[in-house]
Structure formats: C-alpha cells, structure tokens
Chain A
Amino acid sequence: MPVIEIAGKQINVNEEGFLTKYEEWDEEVAKTLAMQIEVEMTPKHWEIIKFLREDFKVQGETATSRRVQTVGGVPVKEQFELFPKKPAKKMAYIAGLPKPKGCV
C-alpha cells in the first residue's frame, strides 16, 4: 500500500487514496483531503466528519448515508448539498475512513 505525504505527514492510503490507518487522521489532514476533492469545509461539514469518526470507533465500519441521517441526524438531502454527487464516499474520504460497505 502506498505512503503519501498529506499536510506534511507520512500517511498510509489504499490504491484509491483512502486512508488506511484510523490514527493517522487529524483535522489538518482532513482539510487537505477536503481541498483535494473541492469540498469547502463549514461547521456542518465538520459535524458530519466528527460523527463518522466517532461512529466508526464504536461500529468498526463506516456509516452509510442512511446511518448519517438516522443516527447522525443529518438528512440525506443536506448531505447531497454539502458533499455533492457522491456524499457517502466523499464523507468517508475526508473522515479518513474506508468507503462504506453497506448497500443502503
């Protein structure tokens, strides 16, 4: 697996560029990841990213869009506004987590 430099740190990623080590993520890294996919972070964006980080710690897998709505309290419609086109994958990428596995 490749190691790349993000925000001045050595970071392990998979072949697509998703982080592979939970503990290598921090907010500076997240800012760079967001910039790379042209997402401008607002407090609402951070709220979702932090929910995903916390939820992953407990569940061991990345929350789907559905779960961000039902458990995280952010409606699907708003997720599409904040992370256009591919919210689930973009949220996971910025949060330094694997792509969600669930179908729904």
Chain B
Amino acid sequence: MTTSPSIVPNFGSDSSDRKLAIICSKGNLDMAYPGLILANAALGEGVDTMIFFTFWGFDMITKSRMNDLQFSPAGNTAMHLPGSDMHIPQSMMPAPGMTAIATKMLKKQIADLDVPEVPDFLDQIVAAGGHLWACRMSADMNKLTMDELRDDVEGIISASDFIEMTEGAQLLFI
C-alpha cells in the first residue's frame, strides 16, 4: 500500500473578505426561510453576512408579529399534498381555515427537519455573527420604532445606507 502526501482541507484563509447581503422583502412563512437558510449557511462558511428587512419582510423582526408568520397555499400552484403530486384546486384555497391548516402543516414539516422557527433561527444567525438591519421606509410606513423590533436589530437605515455598507458584497433579493 502506498501512502499519499498529506491532504489537508482548504478551509480558506481567516482574512477572506467575502460578504453577502440578503434583502428579505416577504413576510409569508414559506418565503421567510430561504433568506434565513442561506444566511446561516453563508455564516457557517465564514462569509460576513448582512440582512436587510424591508416591506413585508419587516414582520420577521417585529416582536408582535415574528411568532405568527403564516403560509397560504392560495395562488401557489406548486403546492401539493405532502408526499404526493396531487394538487388541491386553487378555487378551494381561500376556504376558511385553509391558511391556518397550511401554516400548521408547514411548521410541522420544518420542525421535523430540526430547523428552528423564525425567531430562533434569527437568534442563531446573530450568534453566528450575522447582522440585522431594518428598512427606514418600512418602519415609517408601519409606524414602528426600534422598540418594536428585535433587540438585536442594529438599526433602522435607509436603502442608500444599506447599499453603501454592503459595498463589494454579493446580493440576494428575496
């Protein structure tokens, strides 16, 4: 048996300056997750990550709403019954209770994968070194101040401030 020369994984240099900016603009439960999963993955790869919450995405960081994000199958033609290719007809989607049922089902599927709920997930992202910023215009429209937002939101800033501070970053709009 021959021995190869030593192989050590390349974990990148500690001085990597890769940055990722994610703009979360949706407040539906299903659309809250892509940004969080990607932010968490980026942080785990040593990428400096900043998230900007704007428009409906504001619900993800608003204390009174962040535990109550919902998922509606209405208008979502890619929604199948779990584990099958069957659709529920779109005409039935607005039926009373449908959003509550769909939200409960989605939450269960997410929890089964040991993926945290949105507020817990943001806790983990901040613990991993992620930065949370709130959009000035959304705050003004919703008449919200820093008091109503998660304590780890670093500030309410304008779109231009965010663009300025993310110079050189890769950007995702969700």
The distance in angstroms between the C-alpha atoms of A75 and B126, with both chains bound, is 12
What is the interface of chain B mostly: helix, strand, loop, or mixed? loop
Taking CB atoms, residues of chain B closer than 8 Å to A84 are: 14, 46
Taking CB atoms, residues of chain B closer than 8 Å to A36 are: 6, 8
Tally of chain B residues near chain A (CB < 8 A): 29
Are A104 and B5 also in contact (CB < 8 A) when A77-B127, A86-B46 are? no
Q: A13 at interface (Cβ–Cβ under 8 A)?
A: yes
Taking CB atoms, residues of chain A closer than 8 Å to B14 are: 84-85
Comparing B57-65, B98-106, B113-121, B163-171, the segment that makes contact with chain A is B113-121
Choice from A65, A67, A70, A85 contacting B46 with Cβ under 8 Å: A85
Residue on A nearest B40 in the bound complex, by CB: A104
Taking CB atoms, residues of chain B closer than 8 Å to A69 are: 124
Q: B154 at interface (Cβ–Cβ under 8 A)?
A: no
CB of B125 to closest CB in A, whole Å: 9
Q: Give the A-B contact count at a CB cut-off of 8 A.
A: 81
Structural contact, A89 and B11, CB atoms closer than 8 A: yes
What is the interface of chain A mostly: helix, strand, loop, or mixed? mixed
The distance in angstroms between the C-alpha atoms of A84 and B48, with both chains bound, is 13
The B6-22 residues at the A interface (CB cut-off 8 A) are 6-12, 14, 16
CB of A1 to closest CB in B, whole Å: 9
Structural contact, B6 and A103, CB atoms closer than 8 A: no
Are A88 and B44 also in contact (CB < 8 A) when A3-B1, A5-B6, A75-B127 are? yes
Taking CB atoms, residues of chain B closer than 8 Å to A102 are: 113-114
CB of B37 to closest CB in A, whole Å: 6
Which residues of A come within 8 Å of B, CB atoms?
2-6, 10, 13, 15-18, 36-37, 65-67, 69-70, 75-77, 80, 84-90, 93, 102-104
